[in-house]
Amino acid sequence: MPDPARDLYSFLRSKDFVSSDADTDADEDDNEPQLRAVDDFGDPDHDADEDTASDDLSFGDEDLEPKLAQADENTLNRVDFGVIRLDDDGIVQFFNRYESELSGVDPEDALGQNFFNELAPCSNNRLFRGRFKDGVRKGEMDERFTYTYTYKMRPTLVEVRLYRDNDGQNWIFVQKR
């Protein structure tokens, strides 16, 4: 019968969870392999500096512009609030994972859709879309307000932040209350 400890060791070694030099670390008197974690099951392509970037980006940031300019899609997907980037007509260009979970809409399905007419028609009003259109027209926007999403979900109270960056990109940030 095969030795279960040896099979587990072989499996972990094949998945790079155990360093291949673990064999040389074992005592010569001991036939059992010595297991050693290689990277605590972390993503080998993950950069530790990325955690810092997502930790720095928060819903209420006063100095949002530089942090947003440095944030890539992976960072935007790790924040604990919804992030949606729209063009001036309200067409979705980016839809993060948090917003996907909140709304039940897959990020890929959201791309290219009109946020106010197709994704969140409950926001197609003066309070929400009106503020967005005013900000686009003025070329600047940093509005915050409390809102209740009601489309395709039970009423969900959220904090909304509409923001336009220096490059003219429009952002909607959504934080569940």
Domains annotated for the chain, with CATH where assigned, are 1-46 (no CATH), 79-176 (3.30.450.20)
- Is the pLDDT assigned to residue 20 strictly greater than 50? no
What are the φ and ψ backbone dihedral angles of 4, each rounded to 5 degrees? -60, -35
pTM above 0.85, yes or no: no
CA atoms in the 13 A half-sphere facing the CB of 25: 10
Averaged pLDDT of the chain: 80
